[in-house]
Amino acid sequence: MRLPRRSEDRRQDGGRRVKARLDLIAAILVACTAPVLASDLASSGTPAQPASAQDDFWTRPYLFGDLGRARLKDQGIDISGGLVNETVGNLTGGTHQAGANAGQAFVQGIFDMEKLVHITGGTFGITLVGRWGDNLAEVADIPALMLLNEVYGRGNIVRLVDFHYNQSLWDGAVDVKFGRLAVGADFGFDRCDFINLTFCGSVPGNIAGNYIFNWPVSQWGGVLKLHLADDLTFSAAVYDENPTYLSVQAKWALLPTWPSGSEGALVPMELKWTPTLGDLSGTYRIGGWFDTATADNAVTSINGLPALISGLPYAQDYARYGFYISFIQQLTGNATGPSPKQGLWSFLNVTYSDPRTSTTLYQVSWGLQQHGTFAGRPDDEIGFAIGTTGINPRLADAQTQANWLGLGPGYVQHNEYVMEAYYGLQATGWLNLKASLQYVIDPGGYSSPLNENAWVVGLRTTVAF
């Protein structure tokens, strides 16, 4: 299996890295607050009103307060920003105990084109995100299939996550969106409450991430949504299939340019049902995708033998595909009451990818989340989830053959199993602290005396600017 290379040389200039991260955070904070500050300075000069009880530092929704945000939103400009930081460390597993820190800061603007330029039903959106940090799996030499700190990845740079125009037509019966988009923004599981990637984000991008790009990578595409009923939506999209979007060069990552070298088109489709059954709400998705690009076979080389044995280039296959289901159901509480989020929720994700071209063939995850934990803690959360990521059996067979001939990796991959539990403390209106414990069984999908199961502790800090 072609796994990411482990970083063996980690000698980096710590001071330079810290300064770069601080500069990145400062730049995004300035980008987030500058528009609203400018709006205040350009106003009629009316003195600012005294802070109300709702603007109390500990209860207000944003760290920096309103800063004119509410007035801008009334005018059609909705500005938001935030920061997520994950600090994790392994108690067992890997070649040694280690810690890693990774995070991201983002700024987003949504512009109501009806209020701004009288285009009924139109909105324009732009989102920038900057990432920093390290991957615990690499730092501690844990061969995990899924990230142990999900916020890491796709380069420690600033990326254009979203740059789109959306037009609602025929009284909201149809939505058409086009621009630079992340596939996971419109398809698949839309939550990321856990720190292990097994339970976070749109799953097709987890197991087929070499051509299905979730946040923070975007690609040019268009999405059509048909609202068949109040609680039923059919979505279909076409995205440019091009690995250049993964580049860390600013001209492709940060700017809304269209790189050359397109290899085909990614076409996902999804049926989404959002019923309220009694007092309980749910979200049910059934979807699939196909991709017109030519790709390497997962196992077989050009002479028909496993590439692990022949050493020759991989054979080529056309039109990758896959399908998924994603269910979220509220089990207790009252979706129509004053606190619709509170109560016990459950989710289930099942994703299956093309066995010809995928080394990670499927992923299954299930979990429970309780929103509102104890008396006086209505916004805290408790979560528990279990899941598995399965290796393509064809690859396992090839590894067995190669090992018998003395050419293989020395192990045979099957499944990686993960469990995670967390407690999320809503410390203030704008600050959430989440303590997490993960247990990874057979990291990388194989059992070996040199590959110990991993206990991982973590803390996620989430701040709304």
Tell me which of 28-42, 92-106, 156-170 is least confident: 28-42
- The model's pLDDT over 445-462, given as tens digits with 9 standing for 90+, comes to 999 999 999 999 999 999
The owner of tokens 């799953």 is 203
- The model's pLDDT over 146-185, given as tens digits with 9 standing for 90+, comes to 999 999 999 999 999 999 999 999 999 999 999 999 999 9
CATH fold for the domain made of 80-464: Porin (2.40.160)
- The model's pLDDT over 309-363, given as tens digits with 9 standing for 90+, comes to 999 999 999 999 999 999 999 999 999 888 899 999 999 999 999 999 999 999 9
What is residue 337's predicted lDDT score, i.e. its pLDDT?
A: 87
What is residue 280's predicted lDDT score, i.e. its pLDDT?
A: 96
pTM, 2 dp:
0.86
Q: Residue 380 above 70 pLDDT?
A: yes
Each domain of the chain, given as residue ranges in start order, spans 80-464
What is residue 8's predicted lDDT score, i.e. its pLDDT?
A: 39
Q: Does residue 383 or residue 30 have the better pLDDT?
A: 383
For residue 265, what are the β-bridge partners? 240
Mean pLDDT, to the nearest integer, of 44-70? Answer: 70
What is residue 443's predicted lDDT score, i.e. its pLDDT?
A: 98
Q: Residue 19 above 70 pLDDT?
A: no
Q: Residue 21 above 90 pLDDT?
A: no
Tell me which of 8-17, 125-134, 274-283, 359-368 is least confident: 8-17
Mean pLDDT, to the nearest integer, of 267-285? Answer: 96
What is residue 30's predicted lDDT score, i.e. its pLDDT?
A: 39
Mean pLDDT, to the nearest integer, of 178-198? Answer: 95
What is residue 54's predicted lDDT score, i.e. its pLDDT?
A: 52
What is residue 52's predicted lDDT score, i.e. its pLDDT?
A: 52
- The model's pLDDT over 216-252, given as tens digits with 9 standing for 90+, comes to 999 999 999 999 999 999 999 999 999 999 999 999 9
Q: Residue 92 above 70 pLDDT?
A: yes
Mean pLDDT, to the nearest integer, of 304-309? Answer: 95
Residue 13 binned pLDDT confidence (cut-offs 50, 70, 90): very low
> Of 289, 290, 251, 286, nearest to 271 (Cα)?
286
Contact 141, 4 (CB under 8 A): no
